[in-house]
Structures are given as C-alpha cells and as structure tokens.
Amino acid sequence: MLDQSYYDKVDEIIEQYGRKESSLIPIMQDIQGEYRYLPGELLQYVAKEIGIREAKAFSVATFYENFSFEPKGKYVIKVCDGTACHVRKSTPVLEALYKELGLSKKKHTTEDMTFTVETVSCLGACGLAPTMMVNDEVHPAMTPEKAIALVKELRGDIV
Amino acid sequence: MGTMTIDGKRVTFTDEKNVLSVIRNAGIDLPTLCYHSELSTFGACRLCNVEDDRGKTFASCSEEPRDGMVIYTNTLRLMKYRRTIVELLLAAHCTDCSTCDKCGDCSLQRLARRLGLRKVRFENTKERQPLDYSSPSIVRDPNKCILCGDCVRMCAEVQGIGAIDFAFRGTEAVVTPSFMRKLSQTDCVNCGQCRVVCPTAAITIRDNTEEVWEAIADKNTRVVAQVAPAVRVAIGDAFGLPKGANAMDATVAILHRLGFDEVYDTAFSADLTVMEESKEFLERLESGENLPLLTSCCPAWVKLVSERYPEFKDNISTCRSPQGMFSAVLKEYYRDEANAQGKKTVVVSVMPCTAKKMEAKRPNSFTKGEQDTDVVITTTELSKMIKESGLAFDKIEPESADMPFGIASGAGVIFGVTGGVTEAVIRRLMPDHKKDTLKMVSELGARGEDEIKEFSVDYKGRTLNICVASGLATAQKVMDKVKSGEAHYDLIEIMACYRGCVMGGGQPVNAGPRTKQARQEGLYNADNTTIIKKSDENPMIQDVYDGILKGKEHELLHNECFV
C-alpha cells in the first residue's frame, strides 16, 4: 500500500494535464519521473480519475519499454544495443556491467536500489558508438573497463 | 455511388463503408479474422489484402471505395500472402484441433483448410500459458489467441466495459485483463459477447454439460429443464434448420429423449415476471419512489448497474429473472414430498446466455439455503449434447412442454428480443386484448433497430415515459443521461446483448445480419401464433398464484437486494 502522499502528488500531476484520455502518457511520464517507476496502484488511480478503462491504461503502459512497474535504481544505465553499437561491441559492455553488479537479463536492479541496467534499441547517437546513458547523461565510446570504472565512481569507490 | 472493377468484372457500389464490403457484395468471400461490421475497423489480420492495377496491395477493410478503382482479389501473390499469414498464425497457435472446444466452428481452422494449408514450416516457440477458469461463464485460453482484437473491441465499443485489452508488444503481445489479473477480478459482466466474436477457442463458454449428463444418469434424480425463449430460434443453426425457425417443440422432444424427466418453457415464468414487474411498476408510479424502474431480467445489466451506478441500485426491479422465478417455483413444488416421491430434483436451465451461469450462483439465487437453478447450459452446449447423443434433430417427433407449468403466453416468448419485456408489461397494463389494442402496443416503439428507443404511452390519464436499449455501451449512455437529469423515464428496459437475448453470448456463433434478423422475427412469429397474448390471461398463472405461490410470492419471486 502506498501512503497518501503518493496520491496527493498524482492529483497534482493530473490537475496539470487535465482529466482527459490524452493526458495518460504525460501523467505516467511525470509519475515515473517522480518515483523512478510507475506504481501499479497509481496507474489504477489515474485510469479511474481521467476516465479510461484500467485494461487500456495497462495496455499503454506495457506497450512502451520506458514505463516500468518495478522500482528502478538511483542510477539507470541504458546500454544501447542498436545496430551501430552492437557491431562496435556493446555486448561485452553490457556483460561487464551485469557481472560487476550481479545482474542479468531477468534481474535489472541491484538489491540496494542503486543501479538498474537495461538495454535500449537506439539512442540516436550512433556516431558515438558504443553508447550508454546514465540517467540523463550520455557516455560515448564505451569499453567494458570504462563502464566498470564509471560504476565504481558512481558507487563512491576510490578510483 | 460509383463503379469499380473487381477481378475484371464491373461492380457498382453505393454506400458500402469499405472496399471489403463491395467485394463481398459482389459474391467473393474474401477471408478476414479481425473484421466485424458492427465493430470498428482494425486492419490487423491483413487477410483481406487486395492488389490494384499498379501492383500495390492494401487491406480492403481499411480502404474507402472510390469510383474507377481496379482491384484484384486472387492474384498468385495475394494467395501466397494469405497462406503465409495463416501459416504464421498457426505456428504460434496451440493446434490441438481435434480435442479443441471450437473444432468445426473455428475460423482459423476453416481458413487453413480453405486455403489448402498442409504444413506449418515453423516451430511454436511460445511458452504455454495457463488457462483462466476463474469466470463461471467463460474460459480464456491465451495459447489460442491470434491477437485479432475482436474481443477487445467488442468489450470496449459495444459493451462499454473494457475488461480486457492488449498488453505488451511485438512477440510478447497478449490480450489480458489489467495487470494480468484473472477475469473474475475484473468488472467483466459475463455477457460472453467476446466469445461470440472470438474466431478461435481463445475465449469459450464454460462447459457445464458433464454435470447434466451425471444428473441424468442418476436414477434417484429428477432432472427438470427450463428452456428460454431465445433458444428455440437458434438451436436449429447446428442442425441445418432454416435460420430463426422456431424449434421449441423439437427441442422439448429432444430433451425428453436425452433423459430429462420434465421440460418447461421459461416463457411461463416470463409471464410471472410480467405479473410481478407490472405490479411493482404500478406501485412505484403510485408512490413515486425509485423511478425509473430498471428491468432485472438481464444479469449482466444488473451487475453493471450495481458496480457502475450504485446510486440506482434501488431502482432495479426486485423481481427475480424468469430463470430465477421458474427454478424457485420448481424447487418449491418438489419440496412437497407428495410431488417429490423420494427423488431429488435438479433444475437445468437452457439459456442463450453465459451471464445466467453467474446469476445462478449469485447469493440471491438461493431459496431456503438451496441453489434454485442447479446447472445452466447455453444453447451452444445443448447443441453439443444433442450431437453427442446422435439424435437426429430433424427426424424427432415434436412434443409440447410438460404440465403443470407448460403453458406460456406470447408475451413471455418475446422476452428474448430487445423491447419484449416492455411490450409484455404494457400488454398487461392494457384493459383488453383486442387486435387493435395489441397492434397499438406493438407499434409504440419497443420494436425496431434503433439504438435507443424512447416512447410514451398513456395509462389511466398519466403519460408513462419508457426507454428501451440493448448493448451495454448504449445502456451507459442512457444511464448517464438519467444521472445528469437530461432524461426522465418511468421504465428502462436494458438487455446487455445488442438485439436482446436472441444474440446472447451463449448462442451459436457466426450469425450474419440475416440470421440476426431471422431470430428476432422468429420470436415475433412465435408470439403471433400463440393464442394467449397477455401474461395475465395465461390460465396457469392464476393457478400457481392460487396454489403453490400463495403467501410465498415475495420469497419465491423477488430478491431482497442486488448487493
């Protein structure tokens, strides 16, 4: 159960976009921006408030890779696996991160909720391949070593 | 208005909404898996693809007819496309055809055979998903879903419920309730319309026939059937009878042969419903309380009101549905040891409806702690039982319903079509049964194809405003208007399924526009040829009021509440 503060926040977001069908995506984006994930209870609440069916809201939320019902870590690392990044060896970067953080294709977020590692299909920065994003920051020309060094830095380990 | 050339032949078109309709009207049965004329156009299955004179292919369901169009429907390229589409669908499909519930009625199976597909080159790599048996009315098998979205659009557009939708995408896409819940955890009203449009066995009727066979096999059990009005005009579909033909007498005979001890017509208890509901209506008009009166025959509608319009819960008629009334009366009759003669009684109702399975299990469908209706089977399930038995439907000698509850009026029979309950109640309120009176009642506005039918009738100097609608999306439009004060009615009749019970969720599938019309006409014709037209003139009705019902009208015929 989420406490009342979540619903108050969502009310605020809903007011901003208006109670209409087309507000669904911006509202979900703001909720995810606020909490780093989209709590299912809040999606149900939004659907009811803006007058769309819950199954429809779930449909939209699951269609876009960007929305997550699982809480994400403080640092969300998106490793690009688009064609350009893939051929310039993004897979070893991803594997190095999985190994360093004890994650896998099935387990995206570390126990301490610090890191989430996921792949994206293209970041649109193919000239910088292989590319990776940490939250809103782009990291170009990655190697497994650079990726691990970055993780250590973010974790506060002495580099 | 214009002309186009289809496969080298000039064809005129008028107001067809898409090229597909023009092609079909021209006598070419272009296959589709996601197109239903009463739903929005989806364009997902691509089976209706055609080619134009420049070699461009497009989905004919999603293209408006234009004057001078030149199209081809059967080029080698298109034939290969179609075969590949069906092959790919089958590759991701659970193909246990011979033991599948839909075997013989499945559009995918029929199409594979029609297109001459003999081999599927690809392996099914999909993980097997569990079936959803949580609903008393329907079963969902995600392994057989081809993602045509017919059920999704039916549920959202025609019924305004939206219990299921697509989720995830690409190879992971599924049709599911929100958060992958089970159907019973949603606001599904059990109408079964999703199952009517499902081309495969991804959504099927919850089968209860085994319980019936077991009851029949038990020598210490008296198995009593009641057959709803709408069943008689659809049961013949599976046995080559003309569409909409009234097969009640043959159905009664078949049920006897199957081993039912007694067979009755639910139209009898529809007469009871008319008596009780018109009495209740007059009382409410007198007191001015809880108006408009909302009809309570349709369990899907009752569920919708209880959940989405709880402020109108007291407006729902307290009358049990005809199914509920009949079963309660039958059980009461056999509580008397003189009638029971040491046998246990099992009441089986044969309904056009999947929601009736839910209604039978509702807490208010019990009398004296006993479930009134033991088993509900749909028309489709009865068809299967008849087929299994090997009885030839067309060779059976017709029989009439049994006594002591064997007489029904025409008013009771038309319950199976939208507007029928209202017409029956108004007939009851009329002082006589003269031809002119009945004709006037039939022309008031309860009949016909309009989405929402509004009309008024004078009753002892007072104007009664009445609304009749079918389809739950339409019903919600009506209720929203009543809620906002925009509309004022004294009586609202709603049937969850568009056109009424004749098109219920338990009826045989693949009914086209002509069949839909024929079923409605079939019931009106049955009324026309019934001598007794008014429920209050049914001699059996007075008998039961003086006899078994005396002092028990409320207990047996009404609900306390719909919580």
B162 closest CB neighbour out of A40, A55, A63: A55
A59 closest CB neighbour out of B161, B163, B167: B167
A104/A131 Cα distance (integer angstroms): 19
B169 closest CB neighbour out of A44, A54, A63: A63
B311/B437 Cα distance (integer angstroms): 37
Among B133, B94, B93, B86, residue whose Cα is nearest residue B113:
B86
Q: Do B165 and B297 fall into the same domain?
A: no
Alpha carbon of B217 to those of B208, B214, B251, B372, B401: distances in Å? 15, 5, 20, 21, 22
Q: Burial level of A92, CB count in 10 A (0-12/13-18/19+)? A: middle
Q: Give A 52-111 residues with CB within 8 A of chain B.
A: 53-59, 62-63
End position of a domain, from candidates B172, B205, B238: B205
Cβ contact, residue pair B163, A62, below 8 Å: no
Q: Residue B427's domain spans which residues?
A: 210-557
Count Cβ atoms below 10 Å from residue B418 Cβ, excluding itself: 28
Q: With b meaning 16 or more CB within 10 Å and e meaning fewer, what string describes B251-283?
A: bbbbbbebebbbbbbbbbbbbbbbbbbbebbee
Among B13, B100, B112, B104, residue whose Cα is nearest residue B63:
B13
B352/B382 Cα distance (integer angstroms): 10
Q: Do B395 and B483 fall into the same domain?
A: yes
How many domains are there within chain B? 3
Residue B295: left if φ>0, alpha if ψ -120 to 50, beta else—which one?
A: beta
Question: In whole angstroms, what separates CA B311 from the centre of its chain?
Answer: 27
B179 closest CB neighbour out of A56, A58, A63: A58
Q: Is residue B277 in a domain?
A: yes
Q: Do B52 and B94 fall into the same domain?
A: no
Q: Do B23 and B152 fall into the same domain?
A: no
B177/B165 Cα distance (integer angstroms): 6
What's the angle, vertex CA B299, arms to CA B294 and CA B305, rounded to 5? 50
Count Cβ atoms below 10 Å from residue B96 Cβ, excluding itself: 11
Q: Do B391 and B513 fall into the same domain?
A: yes
B133 to chain A, minimum CA–CA distance in Å?
Answer: 19
Cβ contact, residue pair A55, B168, below 8 Å: no
Q: Please, which residues have CB within 8 angstroms of residue B234's CB and are 6 or more apart in sequence?
A: B352, B379, B502, B507, B508, B511, B519
B543/B562 Cα distance (integer angstroms): 29
CATH 1.10.10-classified regions of chain A? 4-63
Alpha carbon of B37 to those of A143, A146, B21, B317, B513: distances in Å? 56, 59, 9, 34, 9
Q: Please, which residues have CB within 8 angstroms of residue B338's CB and are 6 or more apart in sequence?
A: none
B99/B119 Cα distance (integer angstroms): 19
Q: Is residue B80 in a domain?
A: no
Q: Please, which residues have CB within 8 angstroms of residue B370's CB and are 6 or more apart in sequence?
A: B331
Q: Do B28 and B153 fall into the same domain?
A: no
Give the mean pLDDT of chain A. Answer: 92
Q: What is the pLDDT of residue A157?
A: 66
Spell out the alpha helix ranges (H) of B61-102.
76-91
A63/A142 Cα distance (integer angstroms): 29
* Contact status, residue B224 vs residue B345, Cβ threshold 8 Å: yes
Q: Please state at what angle helix B107-114 crosses helix B76-91, rounded to 10 degrees.
A: 140
**According to the 3-state scheme, what is the secondary structure of chain A?**
CCCHHHHHHHHHHHHHHCCCHHHHHHHHHHHHHHHCCCCHHHHHHHHHHHCCCHHHHHHHHHHCCCCCCCCCCCEEEEEECCHHHHHCCHHHHHHHHHHHHCCCCCCCECCCCCEEEEEECCCCCHHHCCCEEECCEEECCCCHHHHHHHHHHHHCCCC
- Asked if residue A159 has pLDDT above 70, the reply is no
Residue type, B18: N
Q: Give A 131-150 residues with CB within 8 A of chain B.
A: none
B169 to chain A, minimum CA–CA distance in Å?
Answer: 5
Q: Is residue B93 in a domain?
A: yes
Those residues of chain B whose CB sits closer than 8 Å to some CB in chain A are 156, 161-169, 176-179, 186
Question: Beta partners for B176?
Answer: B165
Q: In chain B, which residues have pLDDT < 70?
A: 561-563
CATH 3.40.30.10-classified regions of chain A? 75-155
Q: Give A 27-46 residues with CB within 8 A of chain B.
A: 40, 44
Q: For residue B174, give the chain A residue with the closest CA.
A: A59
Q: Is residue B82 in a domain?
A: no
End position of a domain, from candidates B205, B223, B238: B205
End position of a domain, from candidates B182, B205, B228: B205
B5/A158 Cα distance (integer angstroms): 77
Find chain B residues with C-beta within 8 A of A121's C-beta.
Answer: none
As for the ipTM of the complex, it is 0.88
What's the angle, vertex CA B348, arms to CA B343 and CA B354, rounded to 5? 160
Chain B touched by A48 (CB under 8 Å): no
Tokens in use for A143? 């190697």
DSSP line for B244-297: T---HHHHHHHHHHHT-SEEEEHHHHHHHHHHHHHHHHHHHHHH--SPSEEP-S
Q: Is residue B81 in a domain?
A: no
A59 closest CB neighbour out of B161, B166, B186: B166
Q: CATH for A75-155?
A: 3.40.30.10
Q: Do B381 and B326 fall into the same domain?
A: yes
Q: Do B127 and B35 fall into the same domain?
A: no
Find chain A residues with C-beta within 8 A of B472's C-beta.
Answer: none
Residue pLDDT, tens place only, A49-104: 999 999 999 999 999 988 999 888 889 999 999 999 999 999 999 999 999 999 99
Q: For residue A53, give the chain B residue with the closest CA.
A: B162
B65/B20 Cα distance (integer angstroms): 9
Domain of residue B34, CATH code: 3.10.20.740
Cβ contact, residue pair B178, A63, below 8 Å: no
Mutate to test the interface with A, among B178, B187, B194, B476 (most CBs of A within 10 A): B178
- H or E element: which one contains B492? strand B491-495
Tokens in use for A144? 């497994």
Residue type, B198: C
- H or E element: which one contains B539? helix B539-546
Domain of residue B146, CATH code: 3.30.70.20
Of the options 3.30.300, 1.10.10, 1.20.120, 3.30.1330, the CATH number for the domain spanning A4-63: 1.10.10
Q: What is the pLDDT of residue B554?
A: 84
Evaluated on CA atoms B37, B38, B43, B47, the torsion sign reads negative
Q: Do B150 and B266 fall into the same domain?
A: no
Q: What is the pLDDT of residue B563?
A: 44
Find chain A residues with C-beta within 8 A of B165's C-beta.
Answer: 53, 55-56, 58-59
| Choice between B537 and A24, residue whose per-residue pLDDT is larger | A24
* Contact status, residue B231 vs residue B351, Cβ threshold 8 Å: yes
Q: Do B66 and B93 fall into the same domain?
A: no
Among B350, B344, B303, B279, residue whose Cα is nearest residue B501:
B350
Q: Do B69 and B108 fall into the same domain?
A: no
Among B191, B190, B167, B192, residue whose Cα is nearest residue B180:
B167
Q: Do B44 and B126 fall into the same domain?
A: no
Question: Beta partners for B189?
Answer: none
Provide φ and ψ at B438, rounded to 5°. -65, -35
